[in-house]
């Protein structure tokens, strides 16, 4: 048994809060001990972090492989050789019958950099398939696309969190940090204590919005119009930083013309935000010498999310709030390794180091590291939702790791049906999630405290999670799973080591020279320095905590304005569906809830789904607090207790998305996709409210184009 304290990081959100773990007796394998030396959280942890060891307990997790009996249709225990043989046979059989692209791989934003890298390599080298993507596509892909378009490089925050309190004003768009990243709320508290101002944009008066100097509550799906309206006022009031625009940007004329077409009265009509509040926001943002815009899922999870984020970046550029100290645009990445997971090969169009799969030089470099012919690497595949939608049709087999799309995907009932229609499904996970329960083979894998590996937090800080406890007998790492499958599928096992540090050393070589360059980062250095910011191209390079201070990462060094204009949500309200649904998280649960719903303390705090609605809506429906309410969209129906509050707009309802079953919020959500990022429109769809009871199920139409 291991003894002593092991410094490591929380398994949940992209803060990757520092903690120490001590092995413990009893049902939990370890206990959390404060780690105040880590600068991001300085010892503070939310309830999820404090209770994270509860999921290490044998009673709540998988400890042996499960294989479905063809005769009974039931999952039952099996040995590892049998399980891996079945997976190899299932993947090989579909590939031989229908071709390499009939086999898909779906990853997760919680996988370490090593596992994300190995999974992408496995898909392209061993399976030869282009069909790989991951659930991080559902998280920050629109911000990533806008970042690339504007700055030439995507890193969630181009500055460390410690810079936030030093700014003069922060506009926080579509983020409820008090519930999604509680330890980060201190940065906003410190901002205001230092005299800075906070503006929160959210259709709900959340716990975070209550901390703001100004709360703007736009109708969901109208954030793009709001940003354009603020930029209009910046121009009209003579607040443009003309010197910065001339020296460090391009494309201002088109962006300016688009903003001038969104005058305050029009923006008020679209968003519901009064013109005086628009003017107040501009005055607060432009008054100090420095300011920031931080966005999260609110503006990003829309079918126009890339353009919406681009409009907020435009506001920063026009006012000179980018590429300067304590100023800029940043994305609050959500998942634990959402940043690193998209940098090293899980996305359908990317190779390690954030290289483009369509770039011949990038293909040649990575193929050289992998020891394969560049021409043998497949091209870009389908994005996450498009891949899930193709299951049971053009994609007949799926290997899935660290994701639970039965709960987390949009139009979830349809996605569940596609998963059920597969010829073969294998799932590697820590627990028997709702998705794993559908699999032909379930592989029990190690989790955060039982393995060593790196993650990259929302600041671009590469961190080292250390193995603190031994996994239960019968559990293997994802790297061991890929090693075993690679051996069975053509003798590729030498290219898939099981030692995470050996994998990371290869990742360093593969990323060298790429936008996300990890070449100068090693395990020992991370341990000594407490984390290293990429890009870091050499061991003697200091890392890059702050990007863009001298130049942007575009060929000419200038940031690019986005020429964008407001357009309606993919699905507007009408007489049949007169209310807008928006979705999100609560403090005690995380993502699909596959892990947190197994922790008694967290379930006591957040036992199940609910429908948050305004008293006016509740009175019209005739429901009281706690009464069941049916929420119906064109894709399905969900039922949950009413939570009545005047902290939400009267034309909007909110549901958290952590639960399966009758209260599954993603049964309702719209899979309309952003044309650039391929992000689904989770944050807004048209619904109606009903009293529960039997009734016709809404028709689930074909997925929208684009």
Question: Which pLDDT tens digit goes with each residue over 635-648?
Answer: 999 999 999 999 99
**Residue 609 pLDDT greater than 80, yes or no:** yes
Confidence label for 342 from pLDDT (cuts 50, 70 and 90): confident
Confidence label for 702 from pLDDT (cuts 50, 70 and 90): very low
Confidence label for 515 from pLDDT (cuts 50, 70 and 90): very high
Cβ neighbours of residue 434 under 8 Å, at least 6 residues apart? 404, 406, 407, 592, 594, 660
How far apart are alpha carbons 164 and 159 in whole angstroms?
9
**Residue 314 pLDDT greater than 90, yes or no:** yes
High-pLDDT (> 70) share of the chain, %: 97
How confident is the model at residue 28, as a pLDDT? 63
How confident is the model at residue 1, as a pLDDT? 52
How confident is the model at residue 693, as a pLDDT? 77
Quick check: helix, strand or coil at residue 365? helix
How confident is the model at residue 140, as a pLDDT? 87
Confidence label for 649 from pLDDT (cuts 50, 70 and 90): very high
**Residue 379 pLDDT greater than 70, yes or no:** yes
DSSP state of 445: B
Q: Are 382 and 349 in contact (CB under 8 A)?
A: no
How far apart are alpha carbons 214 and 413 in whole angstroms?
39
How confident is the model at residue 336, as a pLDDT? 86
Question: Does the fold of domain 66-138+338-456+464-498 match that of domain 6-60?
Answer: no
**Residue 706 pLDDT greater than 70, yes or no:** no
**Residue 698 pLDDT greater than 70, yes or no:** no
How confident is the model at residue 694, as a pLDDT? 61
Share the mean pLDDT of the chain: 96
Q: Domain 6-60 is of which CATH architecture?
A: Single Sheet (2.20)
How confident is the model at residue 189, as a pLDDT? 97
Q: Where are the domains of the chain?
A: 6-60, 66-138+338-456+464-498, 142-331, 579-690
Q: Domain 66-138+338-456+464-498 is of which CATH architecture?
A: 3-Layer(aba) Sandwich (3.40)
How far apart are alpha carbons 340 and 154 in whole angstroms?
11
Confidence label for 4 from pLDDT (cuts 50, 70 and 90): confident
6-9 vs 18-23, strand pairing mode: antiparallel
How confident is the model at residue 121, as a pLDDT? 98
Confidence label for 444 from pLDDT (cuts 50, 70 and 90): very high
- Look at residues 120, 114, 267, 204 and name the one whose alpha carbon lies nearest to residue 585: 204
High-pLDDT (> 90) share of the chain, %: 95
Q: Kindly report the CATH number that applies to the domain delimited by 579-690.
A: 2.40.40.20
Q: Kindly report the CATH number that applies to the domain delimited by 142-331.
A: 3.40.228.10
Q: Tell me the mean pLDDT in the region 354-375.
A: 97
């Amino acid at each position: 048994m291991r003894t002593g304290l092991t410094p490591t990081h929380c398994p949940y959100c992209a803060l990757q809060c520092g903690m120490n773990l001590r092995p413990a007796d009893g049902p939990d394998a370890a206990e959390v001990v404060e780690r105040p030396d880590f600068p991001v959280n300085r010892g503070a942890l939310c309830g999820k972090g404090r209770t994270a060891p509860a999921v290490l307990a044998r009673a709540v997790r998988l400890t042996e492989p499960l294989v479905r009996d063809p005769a009974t249709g039931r999952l039952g225990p099996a040995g590892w050789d049998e399980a891996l043989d079945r997976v190899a046979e299932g993947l090989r059989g579909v590939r031989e019958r229908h071709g390499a692209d009939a086999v898909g791989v779906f990853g997760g934003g919680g996988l370490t950099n090593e596992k994300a890298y190995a999974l992408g390599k496995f898909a392209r080298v061993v399976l030869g398939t282009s069909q790989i993507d991951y659930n991080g596509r559902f998280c920050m892909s629109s911000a990533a696309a806008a970042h690339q378009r504007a700055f030439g490089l995507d890193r969630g925050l181009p500055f460390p969190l410690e810079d936030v309190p030093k700014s003069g004003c922060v506009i926080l768009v579509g983020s409820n940090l008090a519930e999604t990243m509680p330890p980060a709320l201190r940065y906003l508290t410190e901002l205001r204590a230092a005299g800075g101002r906070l503006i929160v944009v959210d259709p709900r008066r959340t716990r975070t919005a209550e901390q703001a100097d100004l709360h703007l509550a736009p109708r969901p799906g109208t954030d793009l119009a709001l940003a354009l309206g603020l930029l209009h006022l910046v121009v009209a009031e003579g607040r443009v930083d003309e010197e910065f625009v001339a020296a460090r940007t391009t494309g201002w004329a088109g962006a300016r013309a688009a903003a001038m077409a969104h005058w305050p009265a029009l923006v008020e009509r679209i968003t519901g935000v009064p013109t005086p509040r628009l003017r107040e926001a501009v005055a607060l943002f432009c008054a100090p010498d420095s300011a920031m815009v931080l966005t999260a899922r609110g503006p990003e999870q829309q079918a126009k999310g890339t353009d919406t984020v681009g409009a907020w970046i435009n506001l920063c550029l026009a006012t000179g709030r980018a590429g300067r100290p304590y100023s800029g645009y940043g994305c609050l990445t959500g998942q634990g390794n959402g940043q690193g997971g998209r940098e090293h090969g899980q996305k359908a169009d990317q190779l390690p180091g954030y290289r483009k799969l369509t770039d011949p030089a990038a293909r040649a470099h990575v193929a050289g590291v992998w020891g394969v012919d560049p021409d043998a690497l497949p091209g870009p595949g389908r994005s996450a939702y498009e891949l899930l939608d193709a299951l049971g049709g053009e994609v007949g087999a799926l290997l899935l790791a660290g994701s639970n799309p039965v709960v987390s995907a949009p139009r979830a009932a349809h996605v569940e049906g596609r998963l059920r229609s597969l010829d073969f499904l294998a799932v590697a996970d820590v627990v028997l999630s709702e998705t794993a329960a559908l699999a032909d083979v379930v592989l029990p894998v190690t989790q955060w405290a039982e393995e060593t590996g790196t993650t990259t937090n929302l600041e671009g800080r590469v961190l080292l999670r250390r193995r603190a406890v031994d996994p239960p007998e019968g559990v293997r790492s994802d790297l061991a799973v890929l090693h075993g499958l690679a051996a069975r599928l053509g003798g590729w096992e030498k290219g898939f080591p099981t030692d995470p540090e050996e994998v990371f050393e290869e990742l360093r070589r593969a990323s060298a020279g790429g936008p996300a360059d990890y070449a100068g980062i090693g395990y020992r250095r991370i341990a000594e320095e407490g984390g290293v910011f990429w890009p870091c191209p050499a061991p003697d390079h200091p890392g890059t905590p702050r990007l863009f201070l001298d130049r942007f990462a575009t060929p000419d060094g200038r940031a690019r304005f986005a020429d964008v204009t407001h357009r309606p949500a993919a699905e507007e309200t009408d007489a049949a569906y007169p209310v807008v649904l928006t979705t999100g998280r609560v403090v005690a649960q995380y993502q699909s809830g596959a892990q947190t719903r197994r922790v008694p303390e967290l379930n006591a705090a957040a036992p199940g789904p609910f429908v948050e609605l305004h008293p006016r809506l509740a009175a019209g429906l005739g429901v009281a607090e706690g009464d069941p309410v049916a929420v119906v969209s064109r894709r399905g129906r969900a039922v949950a207790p009413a939570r009545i509050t005047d902290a939400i707009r009267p034309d909007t309802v909110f549901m958290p998305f952590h639960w399966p079953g009758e209260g599954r919020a993603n049964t309702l959500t719209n899979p309309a996709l952003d044309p650039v990022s391929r992000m689904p429109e989770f944050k807004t769809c048209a619904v109606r409210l009903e009293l529960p009871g039997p009734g016709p199920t809404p028709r689930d139409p074909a997925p929208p184009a684009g």
